[in-house]
Amino acid sequence: MTKTLQQYHEVITRCKDLYVKKAKDYGTSWRVLRTISIVDQIYIKAWRIRQIQETGKQKIGDSIESEFVGIVNYGIIAMVQEVLPKETPFELSLDEAKQWYEAKAKEIEDLMLEKNHDYGEAWRDMSQESFVDLILTKLLRVRQIVANDGQTLVSEGIDANFADIVNYAMFALIKIGES
């Protein structure tokens, strides 16, 4: 578990570094995105990875790894958006944006540790294809929850699905780093 936590921290640091650099370039323009728009952004990235996996071909330079980083960052953005009050201004300071990112990343890490304890790091035996398929499944679930006005009868809510999406992308990035 120590190795996993170290790898997890290395990957989230890379993801956060890109998030902070983009926040310096663009501010928090992502604040205008509604949940469904973030779902669609992640869906585009996951679907592109799947197409590359299936065809073995790509025409633009963005790597599969960079797409997984984007999935991590959009997933965390989605979780931040879910908790920010509606009246929060679109433009957050860089420090605020970074603090929100770190808070949600810590929640997601804690979930990963709990699940890794119970599942015994089964993800290490999974394929990159499975991570993408699970991400796409979770996105379709979030779409349905949004269509149901955020209500579920017996299922996890939106935040839990985004946390799982982020962790699947993190696992994929750890495995990419190992190969």
Is the whole-model pTM more than 0.75?
Answer: yes
> CA quadruple 170, 172, 175, 176: dihedral positive or negative?
negative
Residue spans of the domains in the chain: they are: 2-178
pLDDT along the chain (179 residues), means of 10: 92 98 97 97 98 96 97 98 94 97 98 95 97 98 96 94 98 96
Helices 2-26 and 94-119, packing angle to 10 deg: 160
Helix (H/G/I), strand (E/B), else coil: 179: coil
Contact 84, 40 (CB under 8 A): no
**Tens digit of each residue's pLDDT (9 = 90 or more) over 77-97:** 999 999 999 899 999 999 999
